[in-house]
Structure 1
Amino acid sequence: MEERAAIPVTLPRANPTQSYWQLDVDDIADLCSTESLPDRADTVIIGSGITGAAVAFNLLSNGARDLVMIEARQACSGATGRNGGHTKAASYISFLHHQHEHGTEMAARIARLELANIRAVHAFAKEHGIDCDSNPCTTTDVVYDVKQWVMAQKAVKAMQDAMPGDDASAYTFYSAEEVRDKFYCGKGGDEGIFGGISYEAGSLNAYKFVIGVLKLCLEKDLNLQTNTPVTSVTRLPGGEYQVTTTRGTITARRVVMATNGYTARLLKRFQGIIVPLRGHVTAQRPGLNMPKSGLPSTYSFFYEKGYDYMIPRPPGSKFEGDIVIGGRLSSAVFDGLNEYGTTDDTAADEDTMRELGNTLPRYFGDSWGDDHPDGRIRNQWTGIMGYGPDGLPFVGEMPGEKDLWVSASFQGHGMVLCWMSAKALVEMMEDRDGEELRGWFPDVFRISEPRFGLTFKGRMHTRGDPSSE
């Protein structure tokens, strides 16, 4: 893993695989608000995904002006526009680890933030009328591995002991037979189910959501510059920053890195600390036996070496009834080792895509039936996530670098971490970093010098109980 983590991080690649969500590219995808880059700006945000958009909206809403956002490719063309559209925390999976490493109070704070993030995203879409197929709903984890089933029960009990009556610890367990009957899994397919767990979650078209946020920012005079790779960020003798791009340079008072898996390309201290990981996703037409009224929830499927996540497209959405499913990292050679350290979302691992393409008939068995006459796979694509050595985001000001701010390393979990992390970052940037912020934002997410001394060992929180190691 150390060799993979040491691979130099590149800029985003040109001509990535086409995401399902970007089959209809928005009008602002290639927008440059001004023909040339301005010479100066108060604030430069690098990255136009959910983090960059949320930071921009919060700053502009608080009265900030002279704000420039720079994107290497099209608007929202990175991980946000390429994920599966799942707003799902599964906080119980990481709770025991967080409790072991950081204490019960901090573990509870993380769980509460994740649920608050889910609710805030869907509430924002509703409040601002963003057409993004926002669908708050329940989700169900179908568990095929006995160790993970035992761990899940232990973790949920620990959460409910620590957070009695809290919405963030509200889980419902189902027996194997109930999962087969209620959630259409197992009969005639992979029947090795131990049980299921349901809780609050949601789904949405993250690309359309962020495009909607960016349009609100443009109304507040955001200067958006797409197709403009940033090649370096340099601190000048006077304390300002020179942001160098392929189209010229901008001098800025402060810079925000909303670059997730690509962060180490511009901030070398993150090389080997925030490591890119390529994820695979498919969109599949439902089998002919699948319920015409739709599935009762979103899903994840947990097995010995990992998990897959799945959302059915909700009623009224384009391609209604399609099933978006991603994961299968362990299907690639060496359990997916070669997916770490790569930023190549122009290609895919053939074994992973083949396995993803074959998962749904196995999970749903007789409930799947024959494939759709137009074929099972509608689209397949890849995207680049960012993972850290302790399984936590890096949020805050770079040590020793005044007004160089970062919010990155979301562990493939960005749809339940980015929005609130961006809100917290803006509070820090605007000198409101007091007891109120520390009451809801986990201190362990903050950038600190000791975290740069950690060793990256791969993706965390997928299975096991750290207290027993």
Structure 2
Amino acid sequence: MEQRAAIPVSLPRADPTQSYWQDPPDDIADLRSTEALPQSADIVIIGSGISGAAVAWNLFQNGTHDILMLEARQACSGATGRNGGHTKAASYRSFLHHAKEYGTDAAAQIARLELDNIRAVHAFTREHSIPCDSYPCDTIDVIYDRAQWEHGQRAIQAMRDAMPGHPAAEYTLYSLEEVQDKFYCGKGGDESVCGGIVYEAGSLSGYKLGIGVLKLCLDRRLNLQTNTPALALEKTDDGKWKVETPRGSIIAAKVVLATNGYTAHLLKRFQGLIVPTRGHVTAQRPGQNMPSEGLATTYSFIYDKGFEYMIPRPKGTRFEGDIVIGGGLFKAPENGLMENGTTDDTEADNIIQEFLYECLPSYFGDNWGEDHPDGRIRKQWTGIMGYSPDGVPFVGEVSGEKNLWMSCSFQGHGMVLCWMCAKALACMMDGRDDAELKGWFPDAFRISEKRMGSTFQGLLHVTAEEAS
């Protein structure tokens, strides 16, 4: 793993695979708000995914700012535009680990933030009429491993003890028979189901959400410059930052890195601290025995060393009934080791891709049936996530680098972390790092010298042992 984490991080690759959500690209995909690149700006945000867009939105709410946003490729072309669209926290899976590392109160605070993030995102899309297929619903974790099943029950009880009556601790457990009857799994296919865990979640198009927030910011005079990668950062003598691009340089009073898995390309101190990891996703037509009314919940399929996540497309959306499923990392050789350290989203790993093609008939068994006449696979693509040594984001002002801020490294959980992290970062940048912020934003997410000395060992909270 040390060798993989040491691979120099590149800029986003040209000609990436096109995600299901980006087909076709939005009208602002290649937007440049001004023909020429401004020579200066109050704030330069690097990255146009949900983190960059949400930071800009919150800064605009807090006052009038001159904000320039740089994007290496098309708008919202990174992880936000490529994920599966799951607003699902699964807080119980990391709760015991967080309690051990940070204390029970801090673990509860993280769990509350994750649920607050999910609810805030869906509420924001309703309030601002963003057409991103927002669909709050329940989710089920179908557990195929006894250790994971037992760990889940211990963790849920710990959450209930720590947060009595709080919705972040509300889980319903289902037996094998109930999983078969209510959720169509574990019969006529992979029948090693231990049980199911149901809780609040949802789905949406991360791409349409990100684009929607960007458009709100454009209405507030955000200057968006796509296809303009940031090549280097340099401090100036007066405490500002010089941002180099192929089209010239910009002097900024403050810089925000919303670069997730690509962060170490600009900030070498984060080499091995934010490790890019390639994820795989497919969109598939449902089998002909699947319920004609569609599936009411989202799913995860959890086994001893990994998991897949699955989102049925809701009624009224484009390709309603399609099943978007991602994961398969731990089915590759050496538990997917070679997917760590890569920024290549121009292609896919054949073993992972083949597993994702074939796993749904196994999970749903007789309930899947024959494939759709047009074929099972509609689309497959990859995307780059960012992982930290301790399994939580880096948010705040970079240690020793005044006026350089960041909100990055979301462990593949961007849809349940980015929004609230961006809100917290905007508060910090505007000088409102006060008791109110500390009341809801975890100290564990803040950048610190201690965290900067960590060593990446691999993805956390995957096996039951790692999550305990």
Q: Give the TM-score taking structure 2 as reference length.
A: 0.99
Tell whether 2:358 aligns with 1:358: yes
Identity %: 69
Residue in structure 2 matched with residue 410 of structure 1 by the alignment: 410
Aligned CA RMSD, in angstroms, stands at: 0.8
**Per-residue CA distance 1:367-402 (angstroms, 9 max, x = gap):** 100000000000000000000000010000011111
Residue in structure 2 matched with residue 102 of structure 1 by the alignment: 102
Residue in structure 2 matched with residue 261 of structure 1 by the alignment: 261
Tell whether 2:70 aligns with 1:70: yes
| Structure 2 unmatched ranges of 5 or more | none
Residue in structure 2 matched with residue 53 of structure 1 by the alignment: 53
| Structure 1 unmatched ranges of 5 or more | none
Distance change in 2, residues 1:405/1:467 (3 Å): closer
**Per-residue CA distance 1:189-247 (angstroms, 9 max, x = gap):** 10110000000000001101110100000000000000001100111111110000111
Whole-angstrom CA distance in 2 between matches of 1:263 and 1:432: 25
Following superposition, the deviation at residue 300 of structure 1 comes to 0.1
| C-alpha contact (below 8 Å) 1:399/1:448 kept by paired residues | yes
Residue in structure 2 matched with residue 166 of structure 1 by the alignment: 166
Whole-angstrom CA distance in 2 between matches of 1:339 and 1:458: 11
| C-alpha contact (below 8 Å) 1:96/1:465 kept by paired residues | no
Larger deviation, residues 325-334 vs 194-203: 325-334
Tell whether 2:193 aligns with 1:190: no
Residue in structure 2 matched with residue 91 of structure 1 by the alignment: 91
Residue in structure 1 matched with residue 9 of structure 2 by the alignment: 9
Tell whether 2:320 aligns with 1:320: yes
Residue in structure 2 matched with residue 44 of structure 1 by the alignment: 44
Matches within 5 A, 1:120-139: 120-139=120-139
Matched residue of 2:88: which SS? coil
Whole-angstrom CA distance in 1 between matches of 2:410 and 2:308: 18
Whole-angstrom CA distance in 2 between matches of 1:63 and 1:148: 47
Whole-angstrom CA distance in 1 between matches of 2:315 and 2:442: 36
**Per-residue CA distance 1:240-283 (angstroms, 9 max, x = gap):** 10000111110000000000000000011000000000000000
Residue type of the alignment partner of 1:90: A
Following superposition, the deviation at residue 64 of structure 1 comes to 2.8
Matched residue of 2:231: which SS? strand
**Per-residue CA distance 1:395-451 (angstroms, 9 max, x = gap):** 000111111001001001110000000000000000100110000000010000111
Residue type of the alignment partner of 2:351: D
Residue in structure 1 matched with residue 394 of structure 2 by the alignment: 394
Matches within 5 A, 1:271-420: 271-420=271-420
Residue in structure 1 matched with residue 216 of structure 2 by the alignment: 216
Matched residue of 2:224: which SS? strand
Following superposition, the deviation at residue 3 of structure 1 comes to 0.3
Aligned length in residues: 468
Following superposition, the deviation at residue 304 of structure 1 comes to 1.2
Whole-angstrom CA distance in 1 between matches of 2:136 and 2:419: 16
Matched residue of 2:319: which SS? coil
Whole-angstrom CA distance in 2 between matches of 1:355 and 1:437: 43
Following superposition, the deviation at residue 463 of structure 1 comes to 2.0
Following superposition, the deviation at residue 115 of structure 1 comes to 0.1
Residue type of the alignment partner of 2:215: K
Matched residue of 2:136: which SS? strand
Matches within 5 A, 1:107-118: 107-118=107-118
Distance change in 2, residues 1:467/1:76 (3 Å): closer
Residue type of the alignment partner of 1:294: G
Following superposition, the deviation at residue 296 of structure 1 comes to 2.1
Q: Give the TM-score taking structure 1 as reference length.
A: 0.99
After the TM superposition, list the runs of 4 or more consecutive aligned residues in structure 1 that deviate by more than 6 angstroms: none
